[in-house]
Amino acid sequence: MFLSTTINGVDAKGRVSVPAGFRAVVKNDPEEKIYVWPSFEGGYLEGGGQALLDRYLNLLEEMDPYDDARAAFEQTIFGDTRGLAFDGTGRVTLPKDLIEHAGLDSKAAFVGLGSRFEIWNPDRLAERKANARDFARENKKSLRLPPRTGGGA
Amino acid sequence: MFLSTTINGVDAKGRVSVPAGFRAVVKNDPEEKIYVWPSFEGGYLEGGGQALLDRYLNLLEEMDPYDDARAAFEQTIFGDTRGLAFDGTGRVTLPKDLIEHAGLDSKAAFVGLGSRFEIWNPDRLAERKANARDFARENKKSLRLPPRTGGGA
DNA sequence: TTGTTTCCCATGCTGTCCCATGTTATCCCA
DNA sequence: TGGGATAACATGGGACAGCATGGGAAACAA
C-alpha cells in the first residue's frame, strides 16, 4: 500500500529516488517497475504498480467497445503511461515531458494514496493539500466507516 | 481493542514505547505495524491497525476514481499516514513532522478509543478533557436513554 | 562525432537494530 | 496476608545497514 508523502531531489538528468516504501509495494510484480502518466486533471503525475494498471484495464473492458468515453480514457491513460524501471540504487529517470507536465524543478513529492500515488511539485502540492484538508473537514460526515463485519448495526 | 490512556516518554530520537496493550491489538496483522496520521481537526495524532486502514481503503474504493470527494479524502488521510514498525522492545519512531503537529516534547499520551486511538501532548489532552467535561455538564440533558422497546408507555 | 541515456561506483546521513539497565507489576509461596 | 522472586515493561545509548544523492564512464542513437 502506498502511504505518506516523501520529498526527494530531482537531479539534472531527471533522476529521482523512489521512496523505499513505494519500491517495496512493487517488489514482487513480474516487472519491477512503476507506471506513471500525466494527470488530465492538473499539473501533476499519477502512478501505481502493475495491480493498478490491471484494475484500470478491467474497468475499461467493461465499457462498450465503441463508447467514445472509453476511447478517450484509453488514449489518455494508457497512451501516455510510461513504465519506469529502477536503477541499482532505486531511482527512476523521469522523461522530460512528464517533468514539464508536473512543473518539477529540483524537488518531487511522492504522495501515497493507498492503491496508487501521485508525483507533485512540492509548492503546488502545498496549495492543493490545504484545499483538500478544508474540503475534508467540511465534509467529514460523508466519510463514515462501514459497519464492521459481524458488528451490530 | 484499543483501551485506556497511557503516558510514555519520547526520547531525543523521537522514539516512544507503544503501550503493551496496544501492541497486542496488532499482533496478528500481516505487517505488525501501527498507522498514524495528523488529525485534520486539531493538534494531535490519530492511529490504528491494519484493520482500520483497510476499512478506509474499502470505503474509498467504492467511490468513483475521479470523484472530487474521494481525491480530497485520499490526500488527507493516506497522504499523511505513516506505517510505523516496532523495534525489538516495542517502540516506534515518530517522524519529526508528526511530533511537531502534535506538539510533543518529552511525553506522549496514548488514548484508546476502541477501533482507533489518538496520541496527544499530555498538557493539551488535559485541556481538552476539561473542555469535554464542561461541555458534557452543560449538555447533560441531551444525553437521554432511548425508549425501551416493548416497554409500557 | 556529438549528444543522450544507462550503468556503476563513492559518500554522507538518517533511520533501524541490538544490547544493557532500572522500574513496575504479577505471581508464587510461606 | 505479606514478602520475595520473577517476568514483563519502559528507557538509554551506541553500532550498523539501508537510503538518498552526486559524479563519471561506457553504451547507444542521431
Taking an 8 Å cut-off on Cβ atoms, the answer to whether A146 and B74 are in contact is no
pLDDT at B64: 76
Q: List, for residues B84-131, the tens digit of each pLDDT value.
A: 999 999 999 999 999 999 999 899 999 999 999 999 999 999 888 888
For residue A146, which residues of chain B lie inside 8 Å, CB to CB? 55, 58-59
Is B45 an interface residue toward A (CB < 8 Å)? no
Is A72 an interface residue toward B (CB < 8 Å)? no
Contact between the CB of A6 and strand D at under 7 Å: yes
Q: Which of A2, A5, A57, A138 to mutate against chain B (most B CBs within 10 Å)?
A: A5
Taking an 8 Å cut-off on Cβ atoms, the answer to whether A4 and B58 are in contact is no
Tell me if B51 sits within 8 A of B35, measured CB to CB: no
pLDDT at B149: 67
Sign of CA dihedral B37, B41, B44, B49: negative
Contact between the CB of A42 and strand D at under 7 Å: no
- Mean pLDDT calculated for residue range B28-41: 91
pLDDT at A147: 47
pLDDT by 10-residue block (mean), chain A, 153 residues:
95 95 92 92 93 90 84 84 93 94 94 94 93 83 54 32
| Residue in this structure with the C-alpha cell 467493461, named with its chain if needed | A62
So where are chain A's domains? 5-142
For residue B65, which residues of chain A lie inside 8 Å, CB to CB? 59
Is A141 an interface residue toward B (CB < 8 Å)? no
Strand partners, B107: B9
Closest CA to B70 of A53, A130, A142: A142
Who's near A133: CB < 8 A, 6+ residues apart? B40, B76
pLDDT at A73: 81
Which three cell numbers mark B104? 510533543
d(CA B45, CA B15): 15
d(CA B148, CA A4): 46
* B5-142 classified as CATH 3.40.190.10: no
pLDDT at A149: 45
Which three cell numbers mark B95? 517522524
Nearest nucleotide to the CA of B85, by C1', is C16
pLDDT at A45: 95
